[in-house]
Structure 1
Amino acid sequence: MFPIYLLEDNQEQRNTYAQVINDTIMINELPMQLVCQTDSPNALLEAMAHNYQGLFFLDMEIENQKDAGLQTAITIRKQIPAAHIVFITTHGELSFLTLERKVAPLDYILKDYGSDHIKTNIREDILKTNDLVKSGKYKKENLFTYHIGPRYFSLPISEIVYLNTSKFNPGRVQLHALKKESEFIDNLNELEKKYPMFFRSDKSYLVNLDLLDHFDSQKREIHFINGSVAYVSVRKARELVKLLK
């Protein structure tokens, strides 16, 4: 069963959200379960220990601590890079912090819009998460994970276009994805071992051939569906032609 967690310090609201979650699961016969409903961030974190997936509905303010839910989300993201996180809050002004802290929530539900709005969004977020889980897009083995300092990030391998060593920052790798670019400390040799689905086109490039648009054999350039380009060594060009044939 795919676990769902609920953090809300208002007991009446917590009971209402839990009922919506359970009803949505039952009506749609989803392989999900509400495994924790609590007003304690620590209790929630203990409940999710040793898990690698989950949908989390988090109140932003807990017991007058305005960003308690955000701090909990940061911890969740470190332990479960592929976690689906939804904030339910009165603090719309804090939404930018979720971007600044790289939490990347699935949804940000404002309580000010009323009970019906909250219930509708909870239902939609559960169904959306179920669709993602069914597609396999966010399974642990299909994720690329990296970290920048103490912050951990992940994205589907299917969205990565290529990785290359940084020309100006030795010891760092640049990530080029369909909707994201980043740079982090690592090396391509280790990444090639960890993610064998990528093709080593050159000593400086690991590429995702699933996103290839065409290969210019004269210029030894791989052109991707998003318009970006990676280079291929002479030896690897022969190997790539064989693969494409």
Structure 2
Amino acid sequence: MLEVMICEDNKVHRAKLKQLVENTILREKLDLKIAICTENPKEIINYIENNNRTGIYLLDVDLKNNINGIRLGEKIRELDSFGYIIFTTTHLEMSYLAFKYKVEAMDYVIKDDDDFKERVNSCILKSYNTYHKGRHKEDYITINTDTRVINIRPSDILFIETTGTPHKIRIHEENRQIELYANLKDIQEKLTSNFYRCHKSYIVNKDKIEEIDKKYKKVIMINGEECYVSFRYMRGLL
């Protein structure tokens, strides 16, 4: 899943930028989330190092820190080569530094400009569309709900299960769960051959199985979650 990370030292500007991103996500029904919003560039670096994700980064250039926004962008580029970096600043004259340090920024947006909101919104949408329709297009399935358009990469799915609510399913990934109204049969038709209907209530990604417990008829996934296998489907799974 694509995530948004914000680094801005000014508390007021940080709150406004966060609200701007949240409004864009809601208005455009984007499958995005703000993973971190901070004044500390080291928090951004630590998060990227501990989470193997591609991100959209909104970085203030003039951070009141020993690491400025350009240097932070340089470090981000080392850790996330496909990330989308957008600089925000009041100092247009510093834009040349982004080229000097080979940050490959998407845009350099001036905070005081009248079109600041439109420019940030445009960058987020362009990043999102490029991520899903370009480099990663071949891997994604798209699910439309009443409130969101969700792009899911099958290789991220551990298993899918029915819920206690009629016609509602839950998709399990390692770091999130998604609930939506659908049925397992329709979802299975969109999935690749490594997915197996192991129970009337479960579809499992065989590539994400850590262990099969034949005695208790259950599957343990790589993150420790469990799902069940019915007797009639155990042989096919094995």
Q: Name the CA distance, whole Å, in 2 between partners of 1:74 and 1:64.
A: 15
Contact kept? 2:40, 2:65, Cα under 8 Å: no
2:42 maps to 42
Deviation readout 1:138-168 (Å, 9 max, x if unpaired): 68x9xxxxxxxxxxxxxxxxxxxxxxxxxxx
What SS does the corresponding residue of 2:29 show, helix, strand or coil?
coil
Measure the CA separation in 1 of the matches of 2:97 and 2:105: 11
1:56 CA drift (Å): 0.1
Q: Which runs of 5+ in 1 are unaligned?
A: 142-245
| 2:123 equivalent in structure 1 | 125
Is the 1:52–1:79 contact (alpha carbons within 8 Å) kept by the matching residues of 2? no
Tell me the alpha carbon deviations over residues 10-35 of structure 1, each in whole angstroms, 9 at most, x when there is no partner.
11110000001011001111111111
For residues 52 and 116 of structure 2, the distance between their equivalents in structure 1, rounded to whole angstroms, comes to 27
Q: How do 1:1-245 and structure 2 match up within 5 A?
A: 1-49=1-49, 50-63=51-64, 68-113=68-113, 116-137=114-135
CA distance change for structure 1 residues 105 and 112 in 2, over 3 Å: closer, same or farther? same
TM-score where L is the length of structure 1: 0.53
Structure 1 residue matching 2:24: 3-state secondary structure: helix
Q: Structure 1, residues 188-222: CA drift from partner, whole Å, max 9, x if none?
A: xxxxxxxxxxxxxxxxxxxxxxxxxxxxxxxxxxx
Give the distance between the partners of 1:75 and 1:138, measured in 2 at CA. 23
Q: Where in structure 2 are there 5+ consecutive unaligned residues?
A: 140-238
State the secondary structure of the residue aligned to 2:95: helix
8 Å CA contact 2:3–2:53 kept in 1: the answer is no
Q: How much has 1:46 moved relative to structure 2?
A: 1.5
- Once residues 48 and 55 of structure 1 are traced to their aligned partners in structure 2, the CA distance between those partners, rounded to angstroms, is 11
Question: Distance in 1 between the 2:30 and 2:82 partners?
Answer: 19
Letter in 1 for 2:56: L
CA contact (8 A) 2:48 2:79 kept: no
Q: Closer, same or farther in 2 for the Cα pair 1:64/1:51, shift >3 Å?
A: closer
Q: Residues 72-112 of structure 1, C-alpha deviation per residue, up to 9 Å, x if partnerless?
A: 10100001111100000111111111111111100100123
SS of match in other structure, 2:135? coil
SS in 2 for 1:48: helix
SS state of the match for residue 54, structure 2? coil
In structure 2, C-alpha distance between the alignment counterparts of 1:64 and 1:131, rounded to whole Å: 33
- Quick one: distance in 1 between partners of 2:96 and 2:12? 28
Whole-angstrom CA distance in 2 between matches of 1:26 and 1:126 = 12
Secondary structure (helix, strand or coil) at the match of 1:120 reads: helix
Matched residue of 1:63: which SS? coil
CA distance in 2 between partners of 1:91 and 1:119 (Å): 17
The 2-side partners of 1:81 and 1:138 are apart by 14
Paired with 2:136 and 2:80, the residues of 1 have a C-alpha distance of 11
In 1, Cα distance between the equivalents of 2:71 and 2:136? 23
TM-score, scaled to structure 2: 0.54
Residue identity matched to 2:59: L
CA offsets per residue over residues 45-65 of structure 1, 9 Å max, x none? 112223241000000011166
